[in-house]
Amino acid sequence: MVKKEETGVEGIDLEQEQREIINAYRGLLRASKDLRDKEDTKLIKKAFNVALDAHSGDRRKSGEPYIYHPIAVARICAEEMDLGTTSIVAALLHDTVEDTHLTLDDIEEMFGSKIRMIIDGLTKIPEVFDENVSLQAENFRKMILTISDDLRVILIKIADRLHNMRTLESMRKDKQLKIASETQYIYAPLSHRLGLNSIKTELENLSFKYKLPEVYEEIENKLEKTKDVRTRFIRSFTNPIKRVLDHEGYVYQIKARTKSVYSIWRKMYQKNIPFEEIYDIFAIRIIVDTPIELEKPDCWRIYSLVTDFYQPNPDRLRDWISTPKANGYESLHTTVMSPTGKWVEVQIRTKRMDEVAEKGYAAHYKYKDNSIEPSKFDRWLGEIKDLLENPESNAIDFIDDFKLNLFSDEIYIFTPKGDLKVLPKGSCTLDFAFDIHTDVGCKCIGAKVNNKLVPLSHELNSGDQVEIITSSKQTPKSDWLKFVSTARAKAKIKSALKEERRKITTDGKEVLYRKLNGAKIPTNDENLNALVKLFNVSDIAELFYQSAKGKINFKSLKDFKLINGVIQVPSDIDTKQDDLSKELLNAVDIKKDTIVIGESFKDLPYKLSKCCNPIPGDEVFGFISAHEGIKIHRTECPNATQLMSKYAYRVIKARWESQKLEERMVQLRLIGVDDIGIVNKITEIISNQHSVNMKSIFFNSEDGMFEGNITLYVYDNKHLEAIIDEFTRIEGVKTVERRFDESAETEE
């Protein structure tokens, strides 16, 4: 947000602007007409007037009045989430405490304690610089703290983020990348977990659009070019289904859902296939309007009618009606073979199920009189509470653990008595034990899966029946963290380990004090800090812990030099920790500075990251690493999303020095049909036609297909594109892609 005089916007028609603001407000009222009564309308009007006055004179980066933003957020809450008056009021006021003269006490006086609590959850932590803290992570953690009190805080924040993403074009390129990365890393998975499918899809698409605009545009253009062909195919495919549904007397809709640009790219990337080889570009959705007691039989009846026309793939049947997903999603999915030989996914659901799928289970929350109907989120909310129980966890660890259960597929596990448990895919027997109860997890020594004895790390599959074996002598081990998958298990193990360490530390304090007293050394903070340096440990608590473990050489105490009872630390003891990182953070202005690669940057060291090997022409950014100075990454590096989201305070703009040409290493993967002489054709292009230096080449052939990995040196991405273009013209070569170095370590 910027003040009016900073925008540089001249000749504003204020009267016209006021009319447009009133029209935007009326649009909000129309969107919420089914969600409010007369008293609600008065409250919304009051909130609008308060927000309008508080934000008077403030403008967004685009130059438009700031009030448009809270109105838009409130409208998303009403129109796209079906949230009621409390959420609309809080959305209108959500930036007032952070950006204007209003305080939380003012909000409470005018609108009550519930609105105050929601606004407090939405208000950011003051930006006090601390090189050890990710401000985004701390703000997100603060917001999540309110989730068990009122889910609306999260929903309004998602609406806020959605509108920010919709209007991101007015921001600087570096800000676009940071916000898009944070959205992709946290807010899209969070929307998925809350069942906000359409919002999740839009957030993913917008993030992808700003991170890889050229790839986004290429896929979008291909979708547009093939639209007419898809439309004709869909019409032909659905006509017989419509006839039989009409004959059976169903009230229904048939929709064709085209896969999102981001989903298409992700499948292309993960499966290493071109756009043309993705068979599920679209899905057919049959939505039937039927009473709730007939939902299940009617969906299965329609499935039977569809498979009378088209042969189903038995391995692709997904029944989320009998067992809904944890986010409330219910639907029956099948994949059938069309007459033209194409596989087509058909989704069958009721009108109610479709509303839940698009707007999330949150659409069914009722907030009047502070009563909330029972929700399928209870288990997930319980896991969040478990994470929040540990006040010592830092914000970065919290987000990592929180993300674990956001975007994972689910498996269904049975107890010995036949009770059903839902766990993330990849869960092991120990995850299942902690899901039952913390004590069961802490004392778990093994399990029987389908009556067969298995270890703690055994990965479970859907349908397994699991019996946990416990021992009163068992205690949690640190290596358990290496194989558990769920946030709940990780949080409980960490908590138990910290409690055990706390006990050992207490014992170690007694041991150390006894030894110091024996050596007639005063047990004050000054001497304890001196011992931390002398014994090269991180802090006093670690000193106590090492004392208890017998790793401190107490014999040397008598040799320490004392002056006035204070231990003297020799000057040659190196006590520097992360000096390079601190020096860089202090020397760099991440908002203004830009690294020009090829030129000196404030006499500070920087180098190209090995994980993505950027070359001139690639879009890049700088990252201040903890121990290795500034690293230059490509914006499409596998680590980029995490770095720009979690450590935005360490990200700095970077660009290439255009005049300087220098060879840089890249890695390519080629896949195609094996043929005699194909390797010779590839090496001929490298050596003869482009005079490129090659570092290594490796080819493997199996079942008539080959995969080749080539490492070579190029000058810039245009040079590389020319080589790739010639590779793709070789008969038999199907795909050529630039590889990332998976063996390279991540930054943090």
Query: Do 429 and 449 contact (CB within 8 A), yes or no?
Result: yes
Range name among 244-258, 492-506, 615-629 with the lowest pLDDT average: 615-629
Range name among 70-79, 576-585, 687-696 with the lowest pLDDT average: 576-585
Helix, strand and coil content of the chain, in percent to the nearest 5, comes to 50, 15, 35
pLDDT, one tens digit per residue, over 224-241 is 998 899 899 999 999 999
The third-level CATH classification (topology) of the domain covering 384-495 is Ubiquitin-like (UB roll) (3.10.20)
**What's residue 241's pLDDT?**
94
Once rounded to an integer, what is the mean pLDDT over residues 696-709? 80
Measured in whole angstroms, the distance separating CA 364 from the mean position of its chain's CA atoms is 25
**What's residue 159's pLDDT?**
92
**What's residue 174's pLDDT?**
84
Superfamily of domain 664-738: ACT domain (3.30.70.260)
- Is the model's pLDDT at 7 over the cut of 60? no
Confidence at 381, pLDDT banded by 50, 70, 90: low
**What's residue 163's pLDDT?**
94
The third-level CATH classification (topology) of the domain covering 2-170 is Hypothetical protein af1432 (1.10.3210)
Query: Do 430 and 489 contact (CB within 8 A), yes or no?
Result: yes
- Is the model's pLDDT at 279 over the cut of 90? no
The C-alpha atoms of residue 554 and residue 509 are separated, in whole angstroms, by 13
The C-alpha atoms of residue 309 and residue 222 are separated, in whole angstroms, by 30
Sequence-ordered list of residues with C-beta below 8 angstroms from that of 681, at least 6 positions apart, any chain: 730
364-387: string of b/e by CB count within 10 Å (b at 16+)?
bbebeeeeeeeebbeebeebbebb
**Token pair in block for residue 532:** 């931390």
**What's residue 368's pLDDT?**
31
- Is the model's pLDDT at 487 over the cut of 70? yes
**What's residue 8's pLDDT?**
45
**What's residue 288's pLDDT?**
95
- Is the model's pLDDT at 657 over the cut of 50? yes
Range name among 171-180, 325-334, 660-669 with the lowest pLDDT average: 660-669
Sheet of 594-597: strand order equals: 594-597, 651-656, 620-624, 630-634, 606-608
The C-alpha atoms of residue 208 and residue 188 are separated, in whole angstroms, by 11
Range name among 37-51, 349-363, 396-410 with the lowest pLDDT average: 396-410
Once rounded to an integer, what is the mean pLDDT over residues 495-506? 88
| The residue count for the chain | 748
Catalytic residue among 17, 40, 79, 98: 98
Model pTM above 0.75: no
pLDDT, one tens digit per residue, over 566-613 is 777 665 444 444 455 666 777 788 777 888 887 778 777 788 888 888
- The domains spanning 219-364 and 384-495 adopt the same CATH topology: no
Which comes out higher in pLDDT, residue 388 or 336? 336
Confidence at 660, pLDDT banded by 50, 70, 90: low
Secondary structure (DSSP) of 625-691: -SSS-EEEEETTSTTHHHHHHH-GGGEEEEEE-TT----EEEEEEEEEE--TTHHHHHHHIIIIIS-
Which amino acid is residue 128, in one-letter code?
V
Query: Do 420 and 412 contact (CB within 8 A), yes or no?
Result: yes
**What's residue 312's pLDDT?**
92
Confidence at 132, pLDDT banded by 50, 70, 90: very low
Confidence at 282, pLDDT banded by 50, 70, 90: confident
Query: Do 59 and 4 contact (CB within 8 A), yes or no?
Result: yes
Once rounded to an integer, what is the mean pLDDT over residues 416-432? 86
Which amino acid is residue 708, in one-letter code?
G
Domain coordinates in residue numbering, the chain: 2-170, 219-364, 384-495, 579-656, 664-738
Catalytic residue among 99, 106, 628, 707: 99
The C-alpha atoms of residue 181 and residue 134 are separated, in whole angstroms, by 14
98 as an active site residue: the answer is: yes
Query: Do 539 and 532 contact (CB within 8 A), yes or no?
Result: yes
| CA–CA distances in Å: residue 596 to residues 588, 592, 600, 620, 634 | 14, 13, 8, 10, 14
- Is the model's pLDDT at 617 over the cut of 70? yes
Domain 219-364 carries which CATH code?
A: 3.30.460.10
Which amino acid is residue 342, in one-letter code?
K
pLDDT, one tens digit per residue, over 518-548 is 878 888 888 888 888 777 777 888 888 888 8
If you average pLDDT over every residue of the chain, what do you get? 80
- Is the model's pLDDT at 498 over the cut of 70? yes
Among 319, 219, 301, smallest CA distance to 264 is for 219
Query: Do 411 and 423 contact (CB within 8 A), yes or no?
Result: yes
| CA–CA distances in Å: residue 298 to residues 255, 304, 412, 549 | 18, 10, 24, 66
Once rounded to an integer, what is the mean pLDDT over residues 2-31? 73
**Token pair in block for residue 504:** 């050992």
The C-alpha atoms of residue 688 and residue 682 are separated, in whole angstroms, by 10
Which comes out higher in pLDDT, residue 568 or 253? 253
Query: Do 632 and 620 contact (CB within 8 A), yes or no?
Result: yes
